[in-house]
Structures are given as C-alpha cells and as structure tokens.
Chains A and B, each alone.
Chain A
Amino acid sequence: MRVFTIIIGFVLLLSCSKEMPEDPFVFENPLLDLSIPTGFPEFNPAVYGNRPTTYGVELGQRLFHEPRLSGNNTVSCASCHNSGHAFADNKAQAVGVEGRIGLRNTPPIQNMAFMKFYNWDGHMLQLEKQVLVPIITHEEMNSSILEVIGKLSADTAYRHLFKKAFGDELITAERIFKSIAQYEYTLISANSKYDSVMRMEGAAFTEEEERGHHIFKEKCASCHSTALFTDQSFRNVGFPLNPSTQEAGRARVTGAAADYMKFRVPSLRNIAYTAPYGSFGQFIDLRALLDYFDKGVLPADNLDPILKSNGNRIPLSEQEKTDIIAFLGTLSDPAFIHQ
C-alpha cells in the first residue's frame, strides 16, 4: 500500500504541474479571403467546411514540403507536386520513395477549390480525404498516419504551428489533412495572359494565338470548357492504354463497364509546364498529342461520342497545331509558377 501512495503522490504532482498557468496564448487565426475569379465555378462544398486560415495555410505549406511525411524521410508532397511545373512534375509516372514508379502521371495541383473530382479517376470528392492516400501508398511515401503524427509530435516547431493553426498543440490526422487541403485551396491560377485578355486588362493575343483560340473553341472546347478549361467529365479519348493490370480508369471506382479507361478531362491551365501528357505520360509534348488526335485515336467500345462522330479523330493541319499550341501558351501563369 505504501508504494501505491507514493505513485498516487506522483500522479497528483503531475496533475498539479499541468494546471500551472502557461504563457498567455490568445488564439487568433484570421480566415483568408478566398475569392472566386471571374468565370470560375463555385467552390467545392468541402471548402466551406475547411476555410483556409492564415496559420492553417502556413502549416499546410510547411507540411506539403515535409519529407518526414514519407517512411524514409525522403519524399514530400512537393517532390512530385513541384510549383515550377504547376505543382506536377515532368515525369511520365510519379516517382516515390526508393525510386518506386507509381501507376499514373502526377496531376497538377491548381484551382483545387473549384474541382468536383480529384485524381484522374475522380475517386475523391473532398481534398481532405485525398491527403492520406500518398502517405500510405507503397509507391509514393510508404508511411502511415501514426508514423507521421509521431515524427511531427517530436518536433517543437510543429507543435507550435499546430497551436497557432488550431488552438492547441495536439497533432491529429484530421488537422494534418485539413491544413494541407487549406494550403492547396489557396493555389489558384487565374492570372494568365488569357485571363488578362478576357478581362480586357490591356494584354492582346498575337495573330497566332488568336487563330489558335478560334480553332480551340471549334475543336477542343466541347470538353475543355469553362474558365477551368475542363468540363470535369470523364471520357475515353482512345489514348494508348496503360499496360498495368491495376489500371481501369474511372471503372476502378464505379465498377461500370461503360467507364472503362475513362479519365477526368484535364484542365489546360499551365499546360505548357506539365509535359509529358496523358494518364501515364503517353505524350512527350503537345505536338505529339495533337498529332495523335489528328492521325486518329485507338478504337474503344466506349470511345467518346464526339470523337466517334468525327471518325475517331480531330483533323488538324500543321499550322492549326502550331496555332493551338501558341494559344495554350497563353494559359501559362508565370506568377503562379514562380511563387
């Protein structure tokens, strides 16, 4: 009984020290003003449940660049999502820890707040839920959320950042997911030359870009529509198939044969920075991609109806291809890339 008493004494002592007054801390973390650029769609509803805050974003940005999110502390989100490539990379397929090759091409992270679907197959509808996937995937970061929480909790700087962002030092899975998503919500690209022309801010298309814009509206904009340059639909456009047996496109999610090898129509903003193109980097540059559409795509039962009705191709002259590529260059947003 004596021993018990001593132990209890210790417990009481610990409890007491906990209640000692700490440095006065006032939880102040202003919401960031996230506005919808002209012509952009509404926010994904999840944004309203996780509005970016000053310190939430600061923490999220730090975590985004944190290699300790990976099992062997070598790979961060930014390793594949490189700001210089519109938060994608220039590899055909993503490369994770120990050089492991992923299934697909790294998607750019831009204008995520306006997207209804994430990933090439649209499996995720909320950005917060996506954060866990690369952390635990063998070919990406190969870690686990408890491993990550353990590493971050041992770091005073992080405990401080979590306190600033969420009011106390507790490092939880939800807070990690929320802060990284908050940072990604702020990655908005809406200041390209195209935007400047459309908003009549003084910039003007060159003749080549103007012709390209015209052809684009005629031959590309039925899928690459809206200010995001994607209608956010899923289509099979007959691109060469990924030989991996893991791949099925959208059918992996829905189980519908009609969705086999359909992928989300990509946004074309900052497209000049994100080569190679296609769900696993089938096309080395835009010219190769346009050549492929012009020459005629591979057949498929569920080939997009617009392509089917055009004889499985988008006929383009060499000059038209040059003009379209020039127009697509106006979707580059150098300030976004060099942030």
Chain B
Amino acid sequence: MKKSKNYSVLGLSLLLLISCSKSDEPVANSMTLHFNNTFKDNTIILGSAASAEASVNTSASGQRHHFSELRYVISNIRLVKVDGSEMPYHIADLDKGAAVIDQSKPATLDFELTNIPSGTYKQIKFGLGVQSALNTLDQVRFPTFYAIAGANDTKMMWEWGTGYRFTKIEGFYGTDNQTLSIHTGSTVEGTESDPSSYVQGVDAYRDIVLDLSTHAIVGQNAPRITIKADFDNLLSGKTNTISLGDGNATPNVHTARNMTLYVDNLGGDGTTDLTGMFSISAVAN
C-alpha cells in the first residue's frame, strides 16, 4: 500500500509538470467565425408580422418578405492551410464541432475554434446541416448539442425522423403578411449499397467551400473571419428562383417536396455551387 501511494504521488507530480509545460505554448491558437446574416448587404433584423423594424427583402419575383426566426446548423468545419493540408475541427463531435447559429441570440453568431495548429490558412470548409452518419439525435454521444438543438426556443429537431433540422426560418410574405415557414433537414440514413442500414430519403446536408482572399494567420493573433450568409438567396438563389404560394410557403416543405429547392439556394447544389448563400466578407488577423 505504502509503495503504491508513493507511485501515485509521483504520478501526480508528473501530471502537474505536464500541465505546466502545456501552458508555455503560443497563446493565440484560436479563431472566431462570425456569421453575419443579411438580406443582400444589410444585417437582418427579425420581427413579428406587424413589426416596423424588421428588415424587409424583395425577391426576384417581387415578393416582399421578412423573418421572425432564423436559425441554421453548421458542422464539419475544416481549415485548409496554404500548403493544402486540411485541419478537421472536431468533425466527428457535434458537441465541440457544431453550432446552431440563431439570429435572435447574438452570442451564437460568433463560433470560436480553439486549439488550432499555428499556420496560415487559405480556405475554410464547413457543412450547412449535419452529415447523415451523425444526424441521429444521439443524446448519449452529444448531450450538449442535443440540448442546444432541442431547447424549447430553438426546436432544431425532427423527432419523427430522428434527425436535426438544418435550417428553420419563420416569417411573413406578401402584402398581407402570409406565413412562411421553411424547414430543411435530411431524411436519408445509411448507405444505399447496404439495404440493412439504408433509409431512402433526401440529403439536405451541403458542403460549403470558401476561399480566404486574406489568409488567416493563426499563432500570434486570433483571426476573426466574417462569413456573410445572404438570405436574399432563399427565394432568389443561384440555382432556383422561388415564388412563395400555397404549395411551398408553409410547412409542407417539411414534406421535402419543395425543400431541395431551398436547400440548393442556401447551401449550393453540392456540385457546381459550393458556396450557396455564404461568402467571406472580412478576415481580421
């Protein structure tokens, strides 16, 4: 007993030593992603149907619209160095590597990436939504993200499909402020080649690839990258021009009938358009 006590004390001292040496490393191995949700160049102000303050946008087909709720999930963040090497940021851990960006909660508009290797980064990749393999509402594996997404004032879950909502937009359109309610999410599960795991459905996850015209330099300072998400694209996107009406403005988009049109506008079509509504507006080193 006595002997093992001594060993333990030794072990503890070692641990303490290790902890100390860790804090000697460079100080600024972090980076902040700031999401600026806009209609064209103007940051969105949310508002109820009768709101005088809410930002009103007009679509390519002439429909006025504004939002009362605006949320989306980002995950699968990867940073690409100038030499082309890719630094995945907790891509298999939704608790650390995913976030719900919520326009009504300013704190959620800044997502801080920590413990990033020093270096010069030329590109950022991330996903709008959650990849199918992690999109299972697994509270045991990811209790933090599950709690954030499932909160009563967030509601970013499709319980029936055991998956997360990727985008949730509530608002109003037209001269008489009709309701718009656009939700996106994946219903597909497993892989098509394996019938025992495969659930037929829609893949609403989109990979976003953005070049950093000003490189982000991690090491001395903590860069802040401002990512613009221009929701003008929702109805007037690069892929689809959408006119809201009975068949597509309210939750029947849950149905996924028209969902892909919105998904392609917001997150790109996954092949030729890998930016969707996103662009880099500033890199501050």
Contacts and interface: CB of A to CB of B under 8 A. Distances in A.
Interface stretch (B109-117, B196-204, B275-283): B196-204
A115 to B, nearest CB: 14
B22 interface: no
Interface string A253-292: 1111100100000000000000000000000000000000
B137 A136 contact: yes
A5 interface: yes
B196 A145 contact: no
A123 B199 contact: yes
A255 B9 contact: no
A32 interface: no
B272 interface: no
Interface string B121-153: 000000000000000011110010010001000
A138 interface: yes
Given A1-B9, A138-B159, A252 B140 contact: no
Contacts of B255: 248, 251-252, 255, 260
A46 interface: yes
Contact of B5 (A9, A124, A245, A248): A9
A12 B4 CA distance: 9
A8 B9 contact: yes
Interface in B240-258: 250-252, 254-257
A145 B157 CA distance: 15
Interface string A29-64: 000000000000000011001000000000000000
Contacts of B161: 123, 253
A253 B139 contact: no
Interface residues of B, number: 37
B196 A253 contact: no
Given A9-B5, A133-B159, A248-B257, A255 B202 contact: yes
Contact of A254 (B189, B195, B201): B201
A255 B257 contact: yes
Interface in B158-185: 159-162, 181
Interface in A164-216: 172-173
Contacts of A252: 160, 187, 254-256
B200 A253 contact: yes
Contacts of B256: 248, 251-255
B202 A144 contact: no
Contacts of A146: 139-140, 143
Contact of A5 (B9, B146, B150): B9
A126 interface: yes
A180 to B, nearest CB: 15
Interface in B208-255: 250-252, 254-255
Interface string A211-234: 000000000000000000000000
Contact of B257 (A9, A149, A245, A257): A257
A223 B201 CA distance: 23
A46 B189 CA distance: 15
Contacts of A125: 196, 198-199
- Which 7 residue pairs across A and B have the least CB separation, nearest first? A248-B255, A255-B256, A255-B202, A245-B251, A8-B8, A137-B159, A45-B196
18 contacts: A1-B9, A45-B196, A123-B161, A136-B150, A136-B159, A146-B143, A173-B139, A173-B140, A248-B254, A248-B256, A248-B257, A252-B160, A252-B254, A253-B187, A253-B256, A255-B255, A255-B256, A260-B255
Interface of A: 1, 4-5, 8-9, 12, 45-46, 49, 103, 119, 123-126, 129, 132-133, 136-138, 144-146, 149, 172-173, 245-246, 248, 251-257, 260
